[in-house]
Chains A and B, each alone.
Chain A
C-alpha cells in the first residue's frame, strides 16, 4: 500500500521533459532526481514528497529510450505513476527497474492536482481520499508479471544466468 499526493500532467509527457538531455552526463539516481520534470514543472523537485504519485494523460514517457527517466522519477521519491497509457519503451523500463506504473485512463482523467491518493498495488485498487473516487486495475500477465514478481530485470536475469550455470 502506498500513499501520497497527486502531481498531475497532460498527454505525451516526453522523456526530455522528465529528464532533459543536458543532465544525462551522469548515471547517479540522486543527481538525476534533482532535475526530474524540470522543463515542464520547475518546482516539482521542491514540491514532491516521498510516496507522492505522478498522474498523467496518454502516452506518458514518449520519446527517447533513456532509462534515466524512470530512474529520476523513482529516485525523486515517487511511489508510482498512473497514466491513461504509457509509451512502450518507458513501459518496459519502468518494470525493469521496479518503478510501479498503472494504466487506468479513468483515474488519470478524474484525479485532481494535490489529491491524496492511496494505491493498493497488490489488490489493484486506486483510492482518491480527497475526491472520493475509487478505481480498479487488473494484474498484468506474461513477462511483465515475471518482472514484477522478481522485482525487476536485474534479479530476473541474475536468477536465469545462475540457473543456466
Chain B
C-alpha cells in the first residue's frame, strides 16, 4: 500500500524523483521555476558567476521581474535594474519583465502562466509562497540559493511538517482571503508555522476566487511558513488553463495524510481583520479597533493588487471622496490589471474620489518609494508587513487590512469599514 501524503509532500516527492517523502527528510528537487527581482537578482547574478556559472540551466525556467524600485527611483536602483536587464539579455531569457507589460512579480507570474499546478518553485523573494494558490510547492529563498539554482536547476529542502487550516462556513460581508490569513496569523503567531507547510482547505476556501487564494498563500511566510498551499480544483483550472503553455498536474492531499496539527476556523467568526503595528500577528476584528486616525491608505502590493481587489476598493470609493489630509494610493498589480481597471472605469472612480493611481510597483510596501511615511505618520495598507519602519520612518505605523477596509478608511480618515460610512 502506498504512503498517504499531503499535497506539499507529493509535490516535493515528485520533483525529487522518489515515491514518497516524510517530514524532516532532506530532498533535492528539480525546479520548474527560479525567480528574482531587482533587489535580489543583482546578488544572485554575482553569485551565479562566482560559482562558475556560465549559462542558466534552462532559459524558460528563469523569470526576472523589475518591480521593487521601478520605475527606477534613483541612480542606484537604475544600476541594479540595468544589471538584471543585461544578465537577461546575455542569457537570452524570454521571461524578463520591466516597464510596460511588467507588474508585481507575484501577481504577474501566475497571470502569465509561469507558475502552474504541480510545480516546485523557488524565488529570491519571501512572498514566492504565493503560488501555492495554484497547487505548486513554492517558497522564498535568498539570492545565493537563487543563483545556485539558476546554474544547477535544483535545490535542497527539508520536507516540512504540515499544518492544516480548515475553514468551514460562509464569510461575512467585507470579509475575504486577507481576513482569513490575518486571522490565522493572529491565532498562531508570526512563528506559528516556522519551518512548516500551511495547507488551507474547507468550504470557505473552496468558495473563494483565485485572487483571495493568492492573498492567503502570499502571507504564509508571515506566520513563518515554508509554503502555503491550496489544493487545485475547478476554480484553479479555470484560471490556469487559458494561461498555461506547458503541461501541469493538479495534485491533492490524500485522505490519510498526516499533519502535525489541524486547525478549524468558523468562517462566521472572522470579522474584517486589522493587524496593528508592528507585527502581522497583532490582528483584531474591526469591531475592536477603536479610534485610529490615518494619514495614508494604500491599496495594492502582491497581497491585494489584483483586479478583484481594485473592484472592491472602487465599489467602496464610488461616489465618495477621500478625507482631507489623507493620501490614498492605488497600485494595480500589473500593466494588464491597470489596463483592465481603466477599461472598467475603476481608474476613473479612483481619480474622481481623489485617489492617486500609480503604475505597478512594490514601492511603498517596503518603504521604497511612491508613498513613504514620515515620523509619526500612520497608514492603513493592503500590504503584508507592518514591521518597524516597513513603509518609511521607524517612527511611522502600518495597519494591515483588506481593500474594502483600506478604501473605507481613506474616506473616513480613520480606520473603519464600508458600513460605517
- B385 proximal to A (CB < 8 A): yes
Looking across the interface, which residue of chain A has its beta carbon closest to that of B54? A161
CB-based contact A158/B385 at 8 Å? no
CB distance from B306 to the nearest CB of A (A): 21
- With A40-B388, A87-B194 given, is the CB distance from A154 to B47 under 8 Å? yes
- B228 proximal to A (CB < 8 A): no
Q: How large is the interface on B (under 10, 10 to 19, 20 to 34, 35 or more residues)?
A: 35 or more
- Give how many A-B residue pairs fall within 8 Å (CB-CB): 140
CB-contact partner of A67 in B43, B74, B279, under 8 A: B43
CB-contact partner of B124 in A65, A87, A153, under 8 A: A65
CB-based contact B388/A39 at 8 Å? yes
Q: Could you tell me the distance between the alpha carbons of A161 and B125 in the complex, rounded to whole angstroms? A: 25
- With A16-B385, A21-B366, A26-B76 given, is the CB distance from A65 to B141 under 8 Å? yes
Contacts of B142 in A (CB 8 A): 65-67, 70, 89, 92-93, 96
- A104 proximal to B (CB < 8 A): no
CB-based contact B144/A154 at 8 Å? yes
Q: Could you tell me the distance between the alpha carbons of A12 and B142 in the complex, rounded to whole angstroms? A: 18
Q: Which of B382-397 contact A (CB under 8 A)?
A: 385, 387-390, 394
Contacts of A16 in B (CB 8 A): 366-367, 385, 387-390
- With A25-B74, A62-B224 given, is the CB distance from A20 to B389 under 8 Å? yes
CB-based contact B367/A85 at 8 Å? no
- A22 proximal to B (CB < 8 A): yes
CB distance from B371 to the nearest CB of A (A): 13
CB distance from A149 to the nearest CB of B (A): 14
Q: Could you tell me the distance between the alpha carbons of A87 and B279 in the complex, rounded to whole angstroms? A: 14
Contacts of A39 in B (CB 8 A): 388-389, 394
CB distance from B298 to the nearest CB of A (A): 15
Q: Could you tell me the distance between the alpha carbons of A154 and B47 in the complex, rounded to whole angstroms? A: 7
Q: Could you tell me the distance between the alpha carbons of A156 and B156 in the complex, rounded to whole angstroms? A: 13
- B80 proximal to A (CB < 8 A): yes
CB-based contact B145/A21 at 8 Å? no
Q: How large is the interface on A (under 10, 10 to 19, 20 to 34, 35 or more residues)?
A: 35 or more
CB-based contact A22/B368 at 8 Å? yes
- A79 proximal to B (CB < 8 A): no
- B158 proximal to A (CB < 8 A): yes
Looking across the interface, which residue of chain B has its beta carbon closest to that of A93? B142
Q: Could you tell me the distance between the alpha carbons of A93 and B221 in the complex, rounded to whole angstroms? A: 16
Residue interface mask B59-85, A partner, CB < 8 A = 1: 000000000010000101100100000
CB-contact partner of A63 in B141, B145, B148, B385, under 8 A: B385
Contacts of B43 in A (CB 8 A): 27, 67-68, 71
Looking across the interface, which residue of chain B has its beta carbon closest to that of A42? B394
Residue interface mask B359-382, A partner, CB < 8 A = 1: 000000011100000000000000
Looking across the interface, which residue of chain B has its beta carbon closest to that of A98? B144
Contacts of B76 in A (CB 8 A): 25-26
- A78 proximal to B (CB < 8 A): no
Can you list 12 A-B contacts (CB < 8 A)? A16-B387, A27-B46, A27-B80, A59-B190, A65-B142, A65-B143, A88-B194, A96-B144, A157-B52, A158-B50, A158-B51, A161-B51
Give the 5 A-B CB pairs with smallest separation, nearest first. A25-B76, A93-B142, A67-B142, A59-B191, A21-B366
Interface positions of B (Cβ within 8 A of A): 26, 39-40, 42-43, 46-47, 50-53, 69, 74, 76-77, 80, 123-126, 128, 140-145, 147-148, 151-152, 156, 158, 190-191, 194-195, 221, 224, 226, 279, 366-368, 385, 387-390, 394
Known A-B contacts: A88-B226, A92-B141. Give 18 more (CB < 8 A). A14-B385, A14-B388, A16-B387, A17-B387, A20-B367, A20-B389, A27-B42, A59-B191, A64-B366, A65-B128, A88-B194, A88-B224, A89-B141, A93-B141, A93-B145, A96-B142, A152-B144, A158-B50
